[in-house]
Amino acid sequence: MLESEDLCCLLFELSSDDRLNILRELEKEASVTALAKLLDLTTQETSRQVFRLKQAGLLLKNQKGLYLLTSYAKLVLKQLEGLNFVSRNRGYFRKHSLAQMPEDLVLRIGDISEATYLSNVSQALYSVERLIKEAKDYIWLISDQNSFGVFCELGKALERGTRNRAIQTKGFVYLPSIVRDYFQYYEEHITPIERRSWNTGALEDRLADQVDVFLLISEKEAAVAFPLNSGKFDYLIFSGSEKRFHNWCSSVFEYYWSKAHSLESLIKSPCEWLRDNTKALTALGRILEGQEPTLKEDLTLGLERMQLTRNGSLTRLGYYAYSHLRDSGSQKT
């Protein structure tokens, strides 16, 4: 059980800017005189604050008369990193939620503290595309949706020789207003690259019912965005190349990668159903061509039930199932 009195005493000692700055400056041992000079305080005031910190068990004095942090103080400062980061970005975290993320990763939130917050969507999108363009070894992605530009850059990265892993939502819906032009370009320029990459193992895709974070990682940089309290994303990201931030993002990706489903396992049942219902398969092809499918009600409901369409529009799972049957020569019209 948490001893609130002890915690309140600690927080009171940390509530002073002067005392907190003394703790932050004492990465190495120092004298009262040196600390006073560093912090632009009088020697008398510095001595008073050092005494309080020593009484609280946060500082000790060595044989040379210099002060240094106790192991307790080092642990306290480490825990403060996360709280300081969240407090510094309180406007963001009032609107965004980490409620669905595993607790051990949330408790490591201080690892993000050195990342740069990009509060403009255009700036964030530019940063994401730049990260992909500069990647040389690998790209890991978690996303509920991607812009057309991001899809193209991911394809170019595969062509350069990166090894990519991606987790996306299986229920993502392609807007009917753009589906024809989008897929015409995608099928001509991106799909052949993806197919080769799948065959060589350079590209691995997994799908999830939902994603709790937007994440993009290369060998040297990372970017992360958390969902709004509504569950949707505004793609305002934290970006950086600092090692602890990169490691935290990698841990997040590995956690969700272990929970996501492989394409093979997800499309098996829908593909079997489509083979037995070739008119539904043909309807998916018509949707891809931007045409209106004509189906009996039972097949329309079947496409929805198999999550291949949603309200008549193609889902990501529907696209993958159709593409698999087409590429394997199983399509019948």
Percent of the chain's residues with pLDDT above 90 = 73
Cβ contact 287:309 at 8 Å: yes
Q: Is the pLDDT of residue 286 over 90?
A: no
Which pLDDT belongs to residue 330? 55
121 HSE (CA, 13 A, CB side): 4
What does the pLDDT average to over 280-285?
91
CB atoms inside a 10 Å sphere around CB 172: 19
CA angle 168, 236, 226 (to 5 degrees): 55
**Averaged confidence pLDDT in the chain:** 91
Q: Is the pLDDT of residue 208 over 50?
A: yes
CB atoms inside a 10 Å sphere around CB 170: 21
Angle between helix 148-160 and helix 191-200 axes, rounded to 10 deg = 50
Strand partners, 141: 166, 216
What does the pLDDT average to over 107-132?
94
Domain ranges of the chain: 4-81, 96-171+209-259, 263-327
Q: Is the pLDDT of residue 269 over 80?
A: yes
Q: Is the pLDDT of residue 332 over 90?
A: no
Tokens describing residue 217: 């990682």
Q: Is the pLDDT of residue 206 over 60?
A: yes
Tokens describing residue 61: 């004095």
Tell me the pLDDT tens digit for each residue of 212-241: 999 999 999 999 999 999 999 999 999 999
Q: How confident is the model at residue 135 (pLDDT cuts 50, 70, 90)?
A: very high
CATH domain 4-81 topology: Arc Repressor Mutant, subunit A (1.10.10)
Q: Does the pTM of the predicted model rise above 0.95?
A: no
Nearest to 249 by CA among 141, 99, 95: 141
Exposed / middle / buried, residue 298 (Cβ in 10 Å: 0-12, 13-18, 19+)? exposed
Tell me the pLDDT tens digit for each residue of 64-109: 999 999 999 999 998 899 999 999 999 999 999 999 999 999 999 9
Which pLDDT belongs to residue 312? 87
Tell me the pLDDT tens digit for each residue of 155-193: 999 999 999 999 999 988 887 766 777 777 777 888 888
What does the pLDDT average to over 245-258?
98
Which pLDDT belongs to residue 224? 97
Q: Which CATH superfamily is 96-171+209-259 part of? A: Endonuclease Chain A (3.30.870.10)
